[in-house]
Structure 1
């Protein structure tokens, strides 16, 4: 499932390409991927300019000139492609937004969705999300306050969207490795120096993920060499049986609270 770095990468690249442009046509091939009737969706989206694209947690928000917002969550298996009919991937497209001769294709939205929401409704939709871990307001002191009396394991705490927004299975493992902490450690057992390291690792790993363009398998557009660059730079995720880049021990894969988890038993204590 795309996490904060993947959606931030999409946000940056799409703002460069479609921000300020008019949506000239709308196609909905799967009504379950939207939240209103197709006719209403088309009427309120077509001929609108995309004012800006922002990100909150794992969501993208396409802000339209008429005040409505297209709220995107890709969930498991969802992705996007921007280009012409000639170079679009040979995949089933659930929704297509056209910008003249270029199209934004939403693919793999079997669990994901693109919802049309009023500006007022967006706040309610996202009100239960925790703080943004890369926000300038997310200080070390605010992290200390957030984890005070927190009793869950590092793994399950990091993926809890009401605790922190945007971190999922992949980056929680990468963060725990970078912090040299076992994902099975309980938050309330961490010493202050370990809490500080965890905070620093959260910010470092997420920023590095963005820098490398996340892990998505498919490019966003023809000639896109950035998207997916993090896949070759992971420390532990999907590397079970390989040697740890830090200590040389074998990386293991175990289930923690029904989530597949990758970590090094040699240096994550």
Structure 2
């Protein structure tokens, strides 16, 4: 599932590709991917321009000129591609938005969605989301307040969107690895040094992943050389049986709270 670095990468690239361009047509191939009737969706979207693209956690928000928003959550298996009639992936597209010289394909929206909402409705959707970990306001003090008296496992809490927005299965493992802390450790077992290291690792790993374009496999458009660059640079995620670059121990995969979890038993304590 795309996490904060993937969605922020999409936001930045899409802002250059489709922002301020008029929407000339919308095709809905799967009505369950949207939240209103097809005709209403088309009437309120066609003819509008995307004035701004924002991100909140794992969501993208396409702000339309008429003050409506398109709220996107790709969920598991979802992706996007900016192309044309002759340049597009050979996959089923649930929603297609046409611009004058390009098309934005929404692919794999079986669990994901593209909802038409007002500004107030979007704010309501986000009322329970935790803070953005890359914001300047997300300080060590804020992090310590969030931890409070938590006693659960690190990974289980890190993927909780009410705790911190945007961290999922991949980066929770990467963060714990960088901090040299086992993902199954409990919050109330951490000393002050470990809390500080974990905070630093959240910032470091997410920024590094963003610089490398995240781990999505398919490029966003034909000449996109950035998206997916993190795939070959994961510390532990999806590297079961491979050698840890820090200590040489083989990386292990386990199941933790029904999620796959990767770590190095040699240098994570």
TM-score (norm 1): 0.99
Please give the residue correspondences for 1:45-194 in structure 2 after superposition, counting only pairs within 5 Å: 45-194=45-194
For the residue of structure 2 that corresponds to 1:121, the secondary structure is: helix
For the residue of structure 1 that corresponds to 2:91, the secondary structure is: coil
2:213 counterpart of 1:197? no
Structure 2 CA distance, aligned partners of 1:142 and 1:24?
44
Structure 2 CA distance, aligned partners of 1:62 and 1:249?
45
Q: Match of 1:33?
A: 33
For the residue of structure 2 that corresponds to 1:2, the secondary structure is: coil
Displacement of 1:101: 2.3
Q: Match of 2:208?
A: 208
Aligned residues: 269
Structure 2 CA distance, aligned partners of 1:42 and 1:229?
35
On the 8 A contact 2:253/2:262 being kept in 1, the answer is yes
For the residue of structure 2 that corresponds to 1:261, the secondary structure is: strand
Structure 2 CA distance, aligned partners of 1:218 and 1:23?
24
Q: Match of 2:219?
A: 219
Displacement of 1:220: 0.2
Structure 1 CA distance, aligned partners of 2:171 and 2:77?
17
Structure 1 CA distance, aligned partners of 2:137 and 2:101?
41
Cα RMSD of the aligned pairs, angstroms, is 0.5
Q: What runs of 5+ residues in structure 2 fail to find an aligned partner?
A: none
On the 8 A contact 2:242/2:250 being kept in 1, the answer is yes
Q: Match of 1:261?
A: 261
Displacement of 1:83: 1.2
Q: What whole-Å deviation, never above 9, does each CA across 1:116-145 have from its counterpart, x for those lacking one?
A: 001111110111100100011001111111
Structure 2 CA distance, aligned partners of 1:159 and 1:120?
26
Structure 1 CA distance, aligned partners of 2:87 and 2:27?
18
For the residue of structure 1 that corresponds to 2:230, the secondary structure is: helix
Q: What whole-Å deviation, never above 9, does each CA across 1:189-247 have from its counterpart, x for those lacking one?
A: 10000000000000100001100000111000011110000000000000000010100
Q: What whole-Å deviation, never above 9, does each CA across 1:2-47 have from its counterpart, x for those lacking one?
A: 0000000000000011111111110000000000000000000000
Q: What runs of 5+ residues in structure 1 fail to find an aligned partner?
A: none
2:2 counterpart of 1:2? yes
Displacement of 1:84: 1.1
Structure 1 CA distance, aligned partners of 2:184 and 2:92?
39
TM-score (norm 2): 0.99
